[in-house]
């Protein structure tokens, strides 16, 4: 049970970091955000934002599945 809770917390932290990175890129704008994305992530801006969104959705799905399994036991 404790391992499941620790996994949920780590996944939640990852989702929060992804959302924070998306908002940071959005705040920078197109030109500076594109420069930041290439320098830090090594990717273009739009594919990076799409990747971060998909990763966030997958992580939130994993959190939901883990929480359901913990409640079953």
pTM of the model: 0.87
Q: Residue by residue, what is the 3-state secondary structure of 9-71? A: HHHHHHHHHHHHHHHHHHHHCHHHHHHHHHHHHCCCHHHHHHHHHHHHHHHHHHHHHHHHHHH
What average pLDDT does the chain have? Answer: 93
| Of 9, 17, 3, 67, residue with least CA distance to 25 | 17
Total residues belonging to the chain? 73
Per-residue pLDDT tens digits for 42-66? 999 999 999 999 999 999 999 999 9
Question: Quick check: 73 pLDDT over 80?
Answer: no
């Amino acid at each position: 049970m404790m391992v499941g809770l620790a996994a949920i917390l780590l996944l939640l932290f990852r989702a929060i970091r992804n959302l924070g990175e998306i908002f940071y890129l959005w705040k920078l704008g197109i030109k500076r955000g594109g420069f930041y994305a290439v320098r830090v992530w090594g990717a273009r801006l739009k594919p990076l934002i799409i990747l971060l969104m998909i990763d966030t959705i997958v992580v939130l799905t994993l959190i939901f599945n883990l929480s359901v399994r913990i409640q079953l036991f």
